[in-house]
Amino acid sequence: MSKTSILLMSRETEDPVYHRRSPWTLMIQRFKKNKRAIVGLWMVIIFVCIAIFARWLAPYDPIAQNMQIILNPPSLSHPFGTDEYGRDILSRVIYGAQISLMVGVVGVLISIVFGVALGTISGYFGGKADILIMRIMDVFMAFPSFLLALAIVSVLGPGMVNVMIAIGIFSIPAFARISRSSVMSVNNKEYIEAAKSMGSGHVRIIFKHVIPNSIAPIIVLSTMRIATAILTASGLSFLGMGAQPPTPELGAMLSSGRDYLRSDPHVSTIPGLAIMFMVLAFNMLGDGIRDALDPKMKL
């Protein structure tokens, strides 16, 4: 740790107001000091805005073909060039970012709902329920995530809806484990014992005390899992198991452009860079949130 960080931390401890601040206020203050996290946040905001306003930002129809401008290099009329069917790559990348974000967010939401529910039950009640749930999660975690997603999509059939389901399923064990450990650390706190002694039911205790006080690690994992989901969805589409033509999905665009990698590299390079920056943005944001919530930084 640098001398500057130690000095700032010592000043914070000497400030009496510091000890009256809420943990979330302290987290925001630490997050603001992390320049890499701020860059990641702005990158995420930009991609989210692109996804929301894709209809107005895209200069052309992403699936409209024009055989007269096949494989044109980047120009003023087509800043990212055109693909093998004369479609505008910029428009397709914009809509592809929209699809990738939707798949990542929906897939992670599915895993949050089921993973947090299973992890909370396991950590709060323990006993046979804990053993059963964790052994099932161990079975899922025995398979590599991408191979498990590929197997699920192979059974359900290709398509973005099935990709979301596959991403949600293979991410459940991670959320279940992190939720279980967080709940177990909270379960023995004094306010939980006080709520039980006052006659509060299990459902009330879980939703009012346990989950709100164990949500921080889940937020960090959710942010990073969106990046994993985007990468997995792109990989499945690259293999032909995700988005089907002519859907403008980044992984599918990367796959269709590999045949022109030497003669017209822009067809596959630009979608690949879009995937890279989206994944980088969420990873940087997740790292920043994790550092801001790190218990070792709390004084």
**Listed range (15-24, 147-156, 201-210) with the worst mean pLDDT:** 15-24
pLDDT at 204: 84
Closest CA to 225 of 151, 156, 172, 165: 172
- State the amino acid at position 281 in one-letter form: A
Cβ-Cβ contacts under 8 Å for 31 (sequence gap 6 or more) = 37, 38, 288, 289, 291, 292
Report whether pLDDT(168) > 80. yes
Closest CA to 94 of 64, 61, 70: 61
C-beta separation of 259 from 197 below 8 A: no
C-beta separation of 267 from 83 below 8 A: yes
Q: Which carries the bigger pLDDT value, residue 292 or residue 18?
A: 292
Q: How far apart are CA 295 and CA 285, in angstroms?
A: 18
Q: Which residue intervals of the chain are DSSP H helices?
A: 3-14, 23-32, 35-52, 54-57, 89-125, 127-141, 145-156, 160-187, 190-197, 202-205, 216-238, 250-256, 266-293
CA angle 202–293–45, rounded 5-degree value: 105
- State the amino acid at position 271 in one-letter form: P
Reduce the DSSP state of residue 86 to 3 states and report it: coil
At residue 20 the predicted structure's pLDDT band, cuts being 50, 70 and 90, is low
DSSP state of 67: G
CATH number, domain of 218, equals 1.10.3720.10
pLDDT at 4: 46
Residue range 156-178: average pLDDT?
92
Closest CA to 153 of 251, 224, 239: 239
Peptide bond connecting 271 to the previous residue in cis, omega within 30 degrees of 0: no
* pLDDT per residue as tens digits for the range 51-110: 999 999 999 999 999 999 999 999 999 999 999 999 999 999 999 999 999 999 999 999
The alpha carbons of the chain give a radius of gyration, in whole angstroms, of 23
Reduce the DSSP state of residue 88 to 3 states and report it: strand
Question: What is the model's pTM?
Answer: 0.85
pLDDT at 295: 52
Report whether pLDDT(2) > 50. no
DSSP state of 200: -
Reduce the DSSP state of residue 247 to 3 states and report it: coil
Average pLDDT, the chain: 86
Overall residue count recorded for the chain in this entry: 299
pLDDT at 261: 87
* pLDDT per residue as tens digits for the range 239-272: 989 888 888 999 999 998 888 988 899 999 999 9
Q: Is 6 a member of any domain?
A: no
Closest CA to 67 of 78, 83, 80, 81: 83
C-beta separation of 201 from 232 below 8 A: no
pLDDT at 205: 83
> Range of 283's domain?
22-297
Number of domains in the chain: 1
Q: Most confidently modeled of 46-50, 260-264, 289-293? A: 46-50
For tokens 């329920």, name the residue.
129
* pLDDT per residue as tens digits for the range 103-157: 999 999 999 999 999 999 998 888 888 999 999 999 988 888 888 999 999 999 9
Report whether pLDDT(236) > 90. yes
Q: Is 78 a member of any domain?
A: yes
**Listed range (77-86, 194-203, 231-240) with the worst mean pLDDT:** 194-203
Q: Is 10 a member of any domain?
A: no
Q: Is 1 a member of any domain?
A: no
**Listed range (8-17, 50-59, 169-178, 277-286) with the worst mean pLDDT:** 8-17
Query: Phi first, then psi: what are they for 79, rounded to 5°?
Result: -55, -30
pLDDT at 50: 93
Q: Is 11 a member of any domain?
A: no
Residue range 213-222: average pLDDT?
87
